[in-house]
Amino acid sequence: MSRTTLKSDAARTKTFALDAANRMSELKCSEVVILDLVGRSQICEYMIVASGTSQRQMKSVGEEIDKLGKTLGSPAWRTSADSGTSWIVVDFVDVVVHLFEPNQRAFYDIEGLWSDAPRLQWRKPGPK
Whole-angstrom distance, CA of residue 21 vs CA of residue 98: 11
Q: Is residue 88 part of a domain?
A: yes
The total domain count for the chain is: 1
Give the domain range for residue 48.
10-118
- List the CATH number of the domain containing 34: 3.30.460.10
Whole-angstrom distance, CA of residue 92 vs CA of residue 50: 16
Q: Is residue 126 part of a domain?
A: no
pTM for the full predicted model: 0.88
Q: Is residue 91 part of a domain?
A: yes
Residue 126 banded pLDDT, cuts 50, 70, 90? low
- Give the pLDDT confidence of 72-118 residue by residue, as tens digits: 888 899 988 877 779 999 999 999 999 999 999 999 999 999 999 99
Distances (CA, A) of 119 to 17, 31, 38, 83: 12, 12, 11, 30
Q: Specify whether the CB–CB gap between 48 and 17 falls below 8 A.
A: yes
Q: Is residue 36 part of a domain?
A: yes
Q: Is residue 5 part of a domain?
A: no
Q: Is residue 127 part of a domain?
A: no
Q: Is residue 3 part of a domain?
A: no
Indicate the DSSP class of residue 34.
E
Q: Is residue 125 part of a domain?
A: no
